[in-house]
C-alpha cells in the first residue's frame, strides 16, 4: 500500500512508519521540520497546498492523520487552560486533520480501496468524562465528530474512515507511566487499519479492537 502518516517523526507516528515500512508498504511521512520527512505544518493551509503539489499524481491507499498536540496536560481549573492554548490545540488536532483530508482527497481517489485513519483518543468519549484536560478532551471529541461526518460524506466516494484510540502509550505525550509501549499500540492499530472497510466506516475503536462508546 501507499501510505501517508502525518507527524511521523516521533512517538506513535515514528513507530507506524517503522512497522508499515518493514512489512513492505511505501510510506510517506510528514513532520514540521525534519530532514527525513516531507515538510508539513498541519495548522498552515499554505503548507498543505505545498504538500499536495509535491504529491500530485501520487496514489494514497491509506491516510493516517496522527499529528497532534496535548498542551494542557497538568493544568488546573483555577488558573490554567489559557485561551491561546485552545486555539493552538484545535488548529492542530481538528483543523489540521480536516485540511490534510481536504488537500489529499484527490490522491485517495486514485486508490481502489482508499482509507482514512484518524488518531483520536478514548478521552473523546462523551460517556467517559472524568474531568480535567478540557482542551485536549474537547479537541479529540471534535475530531471524533469530524471523522464520523467525513465517514458519512466520503462513503459516496468509496472512502472508508475510522477513528482510533491508540491506548495510553509510553511516548513523550503519554509519559513513561503509561500502560503500553508504542510497538504494542501500533501492532494493534495496523490490524484495525487493515480491517477498516466501507461496511465499518465511522467506527470508533481502541487499538485492541474494543468498540468505544461515543
Give the chain's domains with CATH numbers: 2-206 (3.40.50.720)
pTM for this predicted structure: 0.93
Q: What is the mean pLDDT of the chain?
A: 93
Q: Helices 96-108 & 45-54, crossing angle to 10 degrees? A: 20
pLDDT computed for residue 128 by the predictor: 74
Per-residue pLDDT reduced to its tens digit, 127-152: 777 778 899 999 999 999 999 999 99
Closest CA to 205 of 101, 100, 117: 117
Amino acid at each position: 500500500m501507499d501510505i501517508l502518516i502525518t507527524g511521523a517523526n516521533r512517538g506513535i507516528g515514528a513507530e507506524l512508519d517503522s512497522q508499515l515500512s518493514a512489512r513492505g508498504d511505501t510510506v510517506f511521512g510528514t513532520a514540521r521540520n525534519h530532514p527525513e520527512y516531507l515538510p508539513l505544518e498541519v495548522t498552515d493551509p499554505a503548507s498543505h497546498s505545498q504538500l499536495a503539489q509535491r504529491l500530485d499524481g501520487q496514489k494514497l491507499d491509506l491516510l493516517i492523520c496522527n499529528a497532534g498536540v496535548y498542551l494542557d496536560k497538568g493544568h488546573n481549573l483555577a488558573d490554567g487552560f489559557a485561551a491561546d492554548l485552545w486555539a493552538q490545540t484545535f488548529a492542530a488536532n481538528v483543523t489540521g486533520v480536516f485540511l490534510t483530508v481536504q488537500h489529499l482527497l484527490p490522491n485517495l481517489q486514485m486508490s481502489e480501496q482508499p482509507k482514512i485513519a484518524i488518531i483520536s483518543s478514548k478521552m473523546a468519549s462523551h460517556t467517559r468524562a472524568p474531568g480535567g484536560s478540557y482542551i485536549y478532551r474537547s479537541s479529540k471529541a471534535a475530531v471524533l465528530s469530524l471523522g464520523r461526518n467525513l465517514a458519512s460524506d466520503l462513503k459516496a466516494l468509496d472512502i472508508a474512515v475510522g477513528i482510533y484510540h491508540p491506548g495510553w502509550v509510553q511516548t513523550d505525550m503519554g509519559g513513561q507511566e503509561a500502560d503500553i509501549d508504542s510497538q504494542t499500540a501500533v501492532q494493534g492499530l495496523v490490524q484495525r487499519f487493515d480491517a477498516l472497510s466501507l461496511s465499518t466506516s465511522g467506527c470508533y475503536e481502541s487499538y485492541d479492537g474494543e468498540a468505544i462508546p461515543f
